[in-house]
Structure 1
Amino acid sequence: MQRIECRLLEMNECAEHIWHIRLDPAQPVPFKPGQYLQVVMGEKDKRPFSIASSPTRDGLELQIGATPGNPYPGEVLERLRSTGTLTIEIPQGKAWLREESSRPILLIAGGTGYSYARALLQYLMDTEMNRPVYLYWGVRHKSQLYEGAEVLAWANEYQQLNYIPVVEHPQAEWLGRTGMVHEAVLADFASLDQYDIYVAGRFEMAAVVRQTLRLRGVQDEHLFGDAYQFI
């Protein structure tokens, strides 16, 4: 693990209360696709965030959800605005992409958990890995599919990629899948025991997904998510 200073290159609100950030590290940062970093706010205050970019790309990207009144991400964004820099510790986490596997890949993302899936997708495309990939991205409202158009473009370019957005509270014009993201997965797959499954989202969501998939016969050695180190 290394401690590295990063300079802010870009920071924009890609959807309401969701910020996309590009960082320029002061030195090369070795990490595996799917690992995360910790922002060092103090020696006893280190805050984890998914890396939203592949190690095959330049720099580091983050996608941070920060609703008003939530100081945990809000203070990180304020430090970026005020200083233009962040100190990070990298790499962190064990839910990296298992490249040695030839099994199909199922990505289940809730909200900004998509940032984790994004890093895996970029890596898979950049390395031209020939494995079927299914991305189920669950959000509460359609507006939270902040990079849905980009993912659709990737699916058109990368024939192995299947993209299924799921909206929990749809408006009348939404014609796609509705409800809870894990329920959409269960409706589409009679069996999941041949897949490598990667999960990212709130701890409550990750816990429900794990419990549900275990009942479908999924073994823990084929189920990956950083949340599972803590719950």
Structure 2
Amino acid sequence: MTSATAQAGPFQVTVQPSGRSFSVEPGETVLAGAIRQGVGLPYGCKDGACGSCKCKKLEGEVSHRAHQSKAMNAAEEAAGYVLTCSAFPGSDLVLESRQVTDESAFPIRKMPSRVQALDKRSHDVMIVRMQLPANDTMRYHAGQYVEFILRDGDRRSYSMANAPHTLMRAEGGAPPVPVIELHIRHMPGGKFTDHVFTAMKEKEILRLEGPYGSFFLREDSDKPLILLASGTGFAPIKAVIEHMQFKGIARPATLYWGGRRPQDLYLDDWIRARCQEMPHLRYVPVISNALPEDNWTGRTGFVHRAVLEDHPDLSGHQVYACGAPIVVESAREDYCARAGLSPDEFFADAFTSEADKHRD
């Protein structure tokens, strides 16, 4: 059923197989109610564009606000699937959903942040380091994201590229302060990224809210890892790799990082240095549109297909995929349908731009 926002309620939502339940207030989406009460459901964009929050409805009625068909199509909706980020209960609900652990639901905080440093790593990638208030340190999992709250209320989401243990940083002998690292790709004409690349200055103040997202390493498994990134989808993967190194997690892991041209792999030197320190980590860079002057001699083609070439059987793996929605969704479909990957072992964060959110 698709209609306007349901106004009745509040309603109870029970999540199986965990049995956890929470209430959803009138005019509130299922996901918003879960986040507000610290119940960890999988999600990504929160805007009906990526499909990460899709789950099965076992009982009850919902109405959906507008969402993209690639996130959930009409056949899936008719079969009883729900996008929790876009669904409003019309009754008490029972959902079936893979859940994150209770301790993962760190408090979401809204805070001022100060631009500490700008580092342009390629023609369209800026590494921005944001200093957080020293007295209100944010707790988060490696792989989660924050949202900038712009002056007009619009929001822009970016993954934190540094693991939590690196949060406190010192500059020039000064006392350490909490700093998060963000990798921002320029979207020409984009209200926020045009500002980042043309006008943003050190010490500028912006408002942040977070942490958000259910993308982080599941440490209760010893399965080998495929880490799949396209473009700045490398940011949360970088945080995960830092976390693995810090915690001494030695599960075999292979990073496949794709770009159009070699310069798109803007921290290639960083990941090669980590491979020297982490013998269980492999790195496979993949370029799709190299030019003759690039002198590229490595792997070519689409990055998600390189994984299939090397791993035709993924039934014993976990996959963590980040980047352009087309890459993430192609990987999800191909790995589960063709390589035997369990859908429960595919974790994703699709980087949906404002243009993506309005495209169907």
TM-score class, shorter-chain normalisation, is over 0.9
Structure 1 runs (4+) greater than 6 angstroms displaced = 228-231
Identify the match of residue 227 of structure 1 among 347, 350, 356: 350
2:284 is the counterpart of 1:175:
no
Unpaired segments of 5 or more residues in structure 2?
1-107, 168-178
Q: 1:116: which partner in 2?
A: 236
Identify the match of residue 142 of structure 1 among 258, 262, 282: 262
- SS of the residue corresponding to residue 33 of structure 1 reads coil
Unpaired segments of 5 or more residues in structure 1?
none
Which deviates the most, 169-178 or 155-164?
169-178
Q: Of Structure 1 and Structure 2, which has the larger fraction of its residues in helix?
A: 1
Larger radius of gyration between Structure 1 and Structure 2:
2
One-letter amino acid of the structure 2 residue matched with residue 8 of structure 1: V
Structure possessing the higher relative contact order (Cα contacts under 8 Å, 6 or more residues apart): 1
2:212 is the counterpart of 1:92:
yes
Shift of 1:176: 0.7
Measured in 2, the distance between the counterparts of 1:225 and 1:42 equals 30
- SS of the residue corresponding to residue 150 of structure 2 reads strand
Which deviates the most, 41-50 or 113-122?
41-50
Shift of 1:121: 0.7
One-letter amino acid of the structure 2 residue matched with residue 20 of structure 1: I
Q: 2:283: which partner in 1?
A: 163
* RMSD of aligned residue pairs (Cα, Å): 2.1
Which deviates the most, 165-174 or 146-155?
165-174
Q: Quick one: structure 1 residues 22 and 228, their matched pair in 2 at CA, closer, same or farther if it must change by over 3 Å?
A: closer
Question: Is the 1:80–1:86 contact (alpha carbons within 8 Å) kept by the matching residues of 2?
Answer: no
One-letter amino acid of the structure 2 residue matched with residue 12 of structure 1: D
- SS of the residue corresponding to residue 193 of structure 1 reads coil
Which deviates the most, 86-95 or 37-46?
37-46
Q: Quick one: structure 1 residues 100 and 221, their matched pair in 2 at CA, closer, same or farther if it must change by over 3 Å?
A: same
Which deviates the most, 74-83 or 216-225?
74-83
Q: 2:123: which partner in 1?
A: 16
Measured in 2, the distance between the counterparts of 1:44 and 1:100 equals 38
Which deviates the most, 23-32 or 165-174?
165-174
Q: 2:311: which partner in 1?
A: 189
Q: 1:202: which partner in 2?
A: 324
TM-score scaled by length of structure 2 = 0.61
Question: Is the 2:115–2:202 contact (alpha carbons within 8 Å) kept by the matching residues of 1?
Answer: no
Q: 1:55: which partner in 2?
A: 164
Question: Is the 1:54–1:119 contact (alpha carbons within 8 Å) kept by the matching residues of 2?
Answer: yes
In the TM superposition, what whole-angstrom CA distance separates every residue of 1:78-120 from its partner, at most 9, and x where no partner exists? 6743861221111100111112221111110001111111111
